[in-house]
Amino acid sequence: LSTLREYAPELTVGCGLQLLQQLAGINTLMYYSSTILSSSADTDENDSPWSSANNQAICLSALTAFAQLVGVFLGMLMVDRMGRRPLTMGSLTVVALSLVLLGFAFFRQQSQPLALTGMILYLISFGLGMSPMPWLINAEIYPIHIRSSAISISTGVNWVSNLIVSSTFLSLAKATSTDRSDPGKHPDMAFWIYGVIS
């Protein structure tokens, strides 16, 4: 424990990056992508799970997952050319802007094309920097004698924050919605909150 205290600045950076990765809302988009896309089409996924609109939302959510794969692949190619910091900061900037765009997809009226565009832009840019960089930076900043303990702590921060963010998304979306008549269909403010954090 005293050895870890000696490396508190590195541990703060490592844990902070892992926390920020989750507070940017990544797993809400991954776990709830079909729900988000279904809401943006002004359909109710609970009415008929086999409806064409819900099937379309599920297929589109596969497209969004593929977008993150593309972003991660591009990030792997660019990390040594651009550097860790520029890739992380650039990724966060585009993530924040795409979350603002995603919020506007639900503001007043739902727009599935705008929601899909925001999600794809978010996932590609997240894949470029914020997806791999917290893990890569954590693997590089600690000396070998404390690396396993420090990475365990930062990974714990990642998973605990993942649990908190993903389990509170639906409640947060309803509680902060700008449309009080149907707050479940307008999670605009939740995306804007994640955008401000980013």
181: helix, strand or coil: coil
Please report the beta strands in the chain, taking only residues with DSSP state E, as ranges in sequence order.
none
d(CA 3, CA 135): 21
pLDDT in tens, 137-156: 999 999 999 999 999 999 99
43: helix, strand or coil: coil
Residue 48 confidence (pLDDT): 65
Which of 62, 53, 136, 134 lies closest to 95 in space, CA to CA? 134
Q: How confident is the model at residue 62 (pLDDT cuts 50, 70, 90)?
A: confident
Residue 56 confidence (pLDDT): 73
How far is C-alpha 186 from the chain's CA centre? 18
Q: Whole-model pTM?
A: 0.88
61: helix, strand or coil: helix
pLDDT in tens, 103-126: 999 887 888 889 999 999 999 999
